[in-house]
Amino acid sequence: MESGKLIGVGVGPGNPDLLTLKAVKILKQVPVICSPRSAESKPSLALSIIEFILESRDDEFEVLDPVFPMIEDEEALHEHWDEAARQVKERLEQGKDVAFITLGDPTVYSTYAYLEKKIRPTGLEVETIPGITSFTGCAASAHLSLGEKDEIIVIVPKVDERLAPILEHVDTAVIMKTSRHSKELQNIVGQDSRQKDIISVQNCGMADEKIIKGFFQDKKYLSTTIIKFTDK
């Protein structure tokens, strides 16, 4: 029996209209969908984005929803990843394709990377379907050009001591998940004397999307700040 294929599918930043045609095609027919959750009590946001596709299907399919917790304990994390890999590998060896859905793009800060690293060495087939990233979605919503001509863009997943020296060399900085570090970010950015435009986007592509100048002060997870240095 031929083995199934693991397919990483990016479902975009939140608006179902931003799904790619290839993603929709795969999700309409794949027999198993893997949609991780950050906690047992929390539903999968990625799954809610593709809900309209699943509701339109008239065939049988299975949804796996392993927990990929947002914790720092590496040993515990690997236990969760190993369990998810076990579940997926079991279906693949049954000849079933498995679509692992992820917000944004599977290659950019995605939980898919952890699973893919565990499946690929087994010799099972893997395919990755790119999706619209959260930060390009944010830039589009805010009517911003991230880069022009030879401008340098940097994508930063965390605010720490590495950020200040990086900012010295870039024209546009995209800071992801900024609501958790808004004060630190403001301090770092405030020390840079260049003229700048600062736009923050929350829940990009969703019904409650919010765009402001400056920084968000709440703790909502899906927050991105784009800093455009305007001195030339």
Q: How far apart are CA 85 and CA 126, in angstroms?
A: 13
- Residues with Cβ within 8 Å of 26's Cβ and at least 6 positions away in sequence, in order, are 7, 9, 99, 129
The tokens describing 136, both together, are: 């390009």
Q: How far apart are CA 1 and CA 161, in angstroms?
A: 52
Predicted model pTM = 0.89
| CATH number among 3.40.190.10, 1.10.3720.10, 3.30.950.10, 2.60.40.420, domain 134-229 | 3.30.950.10
pLDDT at 219: 67
Could you report the per-residue pLDDT of 69-85, keeping only the tens digit for each?
Answer: 766 767 777 788 888 89
Q: Which long-range contacts (CB under 8 A, 24 or more apart) does 146-152 make?
A: 146/172, 146/174, 146/226, 147/171, 147/172
| CATH number among 3.40.50.1370, 3.40.1010.10, 3.40.50.300, 3.30.70.20, domain 5-129 | 3.40.1010.10
Could you report the per-residue pLDDT of 23-46, keeping only the tens digit for each?
Answer: 999 999 999 999 988 777 778 889
Chain mean position to CA 40: 19
What residues does each domain of the chain span? 5-129, 134-229
Select from 19, 2, 21 the least CA-distant residue to 11. Answer: 19
- Residues with Cβ within 8 Å of 58's Cβ and at least 6 positions away in sequence, in order, are none
DSSP β-bridge partners for residue 10: 102
The tokens describing 25, both together, are: 């095609």
Share of residues in the chain with pLDDT > 70 (%):
96
101 class by beta-carbon count within 10 Å (0-12 exposed, 13-18 middle, 19+ buried):
buried
Could you report the per-residue pLDDT of 106-129, keeping only the tens digit for each?
Answer: 999 998 998 999 999 999 999 999
pLDDT at 169: 92
Q: Enumerate residue ranges in the chain where pLDDT < 50.
A: none
Question: Comparing 5-129 with 134-229, is the CATH topology the same?
Answer: no
